[in-house]
Chains A and B, each alone.
Chain A
Amino acid sequence: MQRAGSIVLTLVLATVITFGLQKLVPGDPALAIAGEDATAQRVAEIRADLGLDRPFVVQYLDWLRGAVTGDLGTTIRGDASVWDLIGQRLPATLTLAAVALLFSIIIGVGAGVAAALRHGSKADTAVTAVATLGVAVPNFWLGMVIVVVFGLTLNWLPVSGYALPWEDFAAWARHVTLPAIALGTAGAAEIARQVRSALVEVLRSDFIRTHRAKGLPQRAVVWRHAMKNASLPLVTVVGLQISHLLGGTVVIESVFAIPGIGSLIVQSANQRDYPVIQGVVFVTALLIILTNLAVDLVYRYVDPRIGVRPARRAGLRRAQRGVTV
């Protein structure tokens, strides 16, 4: 019940803030619609048509009334329903983000474990250095570099566009690879750092010594016991990565010309298409809330000791501590 209340509050806050920001940023959707034909009168007419001349609160409540009944309205030009538009774009974003996340986890966990097991060795130093770099590299820059290398120079993979896996799997696989790497690298680096520091800490624990003393093989000690113990910060960082990935798609979808909700929000912002921006923020906020719920559920599974809320905080603390290590 308390959880439901906080979800509603989050959604309302996210949408109020977006709504407010749209009003604060200068630039009038009526101007965007009028284009070259803009005359003061025509702009005023369009504003009236769109209801932009009404008070802020009235506009927001009007939008909210629609949203709670599942109606996100239409684009500001009225030529498409916002739900349809998001429905068209969301699959590309979700499939891209999923592959990027998978890439982050596989590379991040692999590198993090390798470094932790060789704690203090040259391999560890290398992983730590590359991960530090990886976290710092902007994903659009990385995107452009891999486009030049793998797309233009080696000609292995396409540099623009997208396909959906259930429409054309081979085309999807070719189109998703480069953007997923560009999108997932920062996450891989972050996960590697978190896994490494968490695992180093866990491997020093008394119970790991107990497992060794029992005669368990190294494989079981590391992957079964150490990893499960280190997975609290891992789950936390993966949860955070999902939010970052959704944010990162804004840039990466533009760089790779992928028709997802990331590029949709860029287009909509340029055109001051408030209802679409609002709708995308709403859906994204919902996705992030669902992610957090899922993360909390995974916490329960991973760590039996602590209740849901303290677990999340502990995880965050460990994740944050990991950052400074």
Chain B
Amino acid sequence: MNGSEAVPPSASLPAAPTLRVENLSVYLRSPAGEVQVVRDVSFTIGAGEAVGMVGESGSGKSVTGLALMRLLDPAKTRVEGRAYLGGRDILALPEREMRAVRGREMSMVFQESATALDPVFTVGTQLVETIRAHRDVSVKQARLRAIELLDAVGIAMPARRFGEYPHQMSGGMKQRVMIAMALACDPDLIIADEPTTAVDVTIQAQILDLLGRLSRERGVAILFITHDLGVVAEFCSRALTMYAGEVVEVADVAGLLAAPAHPYTAGLIRAIPRADDKGRDLYEIRGTVPSPTEMPGGCRFRPRCDHAGDVCGNEQALVTIASERKVRCVRSSEIEFEGVG
């Protein structure tokens, strides 16, 4: 539709972006037919850049991440669009070649480190096999590299931890192992899907710090998927807001937080807990994300929007409203948002 216009002008970046996604759509197959769950998503991430992808659960963020990794079951899903990594469209690669890309050029850090690690193998074994899946090294070399990685992600006594099983580790440590595994082969891109949701605030800070440092030092591009705008604020330079499978707003993080252009983004910002919130009820956007089979026509956020008007019944395009800024809301220039800024 109008997604292709949304590609940010590449002139604004010094080099070709690490990842360029164009018109990514994902459909779920079911006996009743196909249902679109991600619609025309386009964005880029440059080397060493961290881009946040925010939205409530059900907004299509994780599906976007998995679609890029090609980890969706082809029997149950269909993916359209293009995603360029290192000059190749990874959505068009044969599965065998894609296998060499996964873990090597791009890797993913999953949300639930508690279940994302194989419980019946030691973390060392899981690291070693990642390395050996892509590099022609001996077990011994791979072992040294794995211990090095564990050390690099801040795990104390890495040689001992190497031989431990996931259940012997704390949540934060498991998340570090996940990150180590993602870094094992020096990828260009890491998709981090809610990497800090399952850990406490202290660990969260440490992990964000770690990811940021790795991104800066190694020039890794990071797609940071989260529902937590606060984390995005700390960690990312740019952000996309996803709602109901669509990108509804693209902005630099500072601009986004200071002056959200989309009512949904504004709602998310308002819902961030603050120090002076004590004693007050936390703000919540009313209603829930619609199911893909019951998408409202026109603006998909309209049923939940405090500012909805008649014009919102029309199909909304993602329009550029400023340099590096786009929004999918026809009324965005008219609205004053409460509790933001």
User: Chain A: residues with CB nearer than 8 A to chain B?
Assistant: 120, 205-207, 209-217, 220, 225, 228-229, 302-305
Q: Which residue of B99, B119, B121, B167 contacts A217 across the interface (Cβ within 8 Å)?
A: B99
CB of B110 within 8 Å of the partner chain: yes
Determine the distance from Cα of A303 to Cα of B130 in the docked complex, in whole angstroms: 21
Q: Is the CB of B121 within 8 A of A228?
A: yes
Q: Which residue of B75, B115, B184 contacts A207 across the interface (Cβ within 8 Å)?
A: B115
CB of B262 within 8 Å of the partner chain: no
> For residue A210, which residues in chain B have a CB less than 8 angstroms away from its CB?
110, 116-118, 178, 181
CB distance from A256 to the nearest CB of B (A): 40
Q: Is the CB of A304 within 8 A of B165?
A: yes
Chain A residue at smallest Cβ distance from B134: A215
Q: Is the CB of A207 within 8 A of B103?
A: no
CB distance from B109 to the nearest CB of A (A): 9
Q: Which residue of B104, B117, B120, B126 contacts A228 across the interface (Cβ within 8 Å)?
A: B120
User: Chain B: residues with CB nearer than 8 A to chain A?
Assistant: 66, 69, 71, 75, 99-104, 107-108, 110, 112, 115-121, 126, 129-130, 133-134, 165, 167, 178, 181, 184
Offer 5 A-B interface pairs, CB within 8 angstroms, sorted by A.
A209-B71, A209-B110, A215-B99, A215-B130, A216-B130
> For residue B126, which residues in chain A have a CB less than 8 angstroms away from its CB?
214
> For residue A205, which residues in chain B have a CB less than 8 angstroms away from its CB?
115
CB distance from A122 to the nearest CB of B (A): 13
Determine the distance from Cα of A212 to Cα of B181 in the docked complex, in whole angstroms: 12
Determine the distance from Cα of A207 to Cα of B101 in the docked complex, in whole angstroms: 19
User: A206-B112, A210-B117, A229-B119 known; A215 and B167 CB under 8 Å?
Assistant: no
CB distance from B105 to the nearest CB of A (A): 9
> For residue A217, which residues in chain B have a CB less than 8 angstroms away from its CB?
99, 133
CB distance from B98 to the nearest CB of A (A): 9
Q: Is the CB of B121 within 8 A of A215?
A: no
> For residue A215, which residues in chain B have a CB less than 8 angstroms away from its CB?
99-104, 130, 133-134
Determine the distance from Cα of A147 to Cα of B112 in the docked complex, in whole angstroms: 55
CB distance from B41 to the nearest CB of A (A): 20
Determine the distance from Cα of A225 to Cα of B118 in the docked complex, in whole angstroms: 8
Chain A residue at smallest Cβ distance from B178: A210
Determine the distance from Cα of A212 to Cα of B120 in the docked complex, in whole angstroms: 16
Please name 9 further chain A to chain B contacts, defined as beta carbons within 8 Å, in addition to the given A209-B110, A214-B129, A215-B130, sorted by A numbering: A207-B118, A209-B116, A210-B117, A213-B69, A213-B107, A213-B110, A215-B99, A215-B134, A225-B121
Report the 4 A-B pairs with minimum CB-CB distance, sorted nearest first: A215-B103, A215-B102, A214-B103, A206-B115
Q: Is the CB of A214 within 8 A of B181?
A: yes
Q: Is the CB of A214 within 8 A of B130?
A: yes
> For residue A220, which residues in chain B have a CB less than 8 angstroms away from its CB?
129, 133
Chain A residue at smallest Cβ distance from B112: A206
Chain A residue at smallest Cβ distance from B99: A215
Q: Is the CB of A305 within 8 A of B102?
A: no
Chain B residue at smallest Cβ distance from A225: B118
Determine the distance from Cα of A220 to Cα of B125 in the docked complex, in whole angstroms: 13
CB distance from A208 to the nearest CB of B (A): 8
Q: Which residue of B102, B119, B129 contacts A212 across the interface (Cβ within 8 Å)?
A: B102
> For residue B112, which residues in chain A have a CB less than 8 angstroms away from its CB?
206
Q: Is the CB of A214 within 8 A of B120?
A: no
CB distance from B232 to the nearest CB of A (A): 23
CB distance from B106 to the nearest CB of A (A): 9
Q: Is the CB of B120 within 8 A of A216?
A: no
Q: Is the CB of A214 within 8 A of B102?
A: yes
Q: Is the CB of A206 within 8 A of B107?
A: no
Chain B residue at smallest Cβ distance from A305: B167
> For residue B104, which residues in chain A have a CB less than 8 angstroms away from its CB?
215
> For residue B129, which residues in chain A have a CB less than 8 angstroms away from its CB?
214, 216, 220
> For residue A229, which residues in chain B have a CB less than 8 angstroms away from its CB?
118-120
Determine the distance from Cα of A194 to Cα of B108 in the docked complex, in whole angstroms: 32
Q: Is the CB of A214 within 8 A of B121?
A: no
Chain B residue at smallest Cβ distance from A226: B118
Q: Which residue of B75, B133, B167 contacts A304 across the interface (Cβ within 8 Å)?
A: B167
Chain A residue at smallest Cβ distance from B185: A215
Q: Which residue of A120, A214, A303, A305 contacts B107 across the interface (Cβ within 8 Å)?
A: A214
Determine the distance from Cα of A300 to Cα of B126 in the docked complex, in whole angstroms: 19
Chain B residue at smallest Cβ distance from A207: B118
> For residue B103, which residues in chain A have a CB less than 8 angstroms away from its CB?
213-216
> For residue B101, which residues in chain A have a CB less than 8 angstroms away from its CB?
215
Q: Is the CB of B130 within 8 A of A304?
A: no
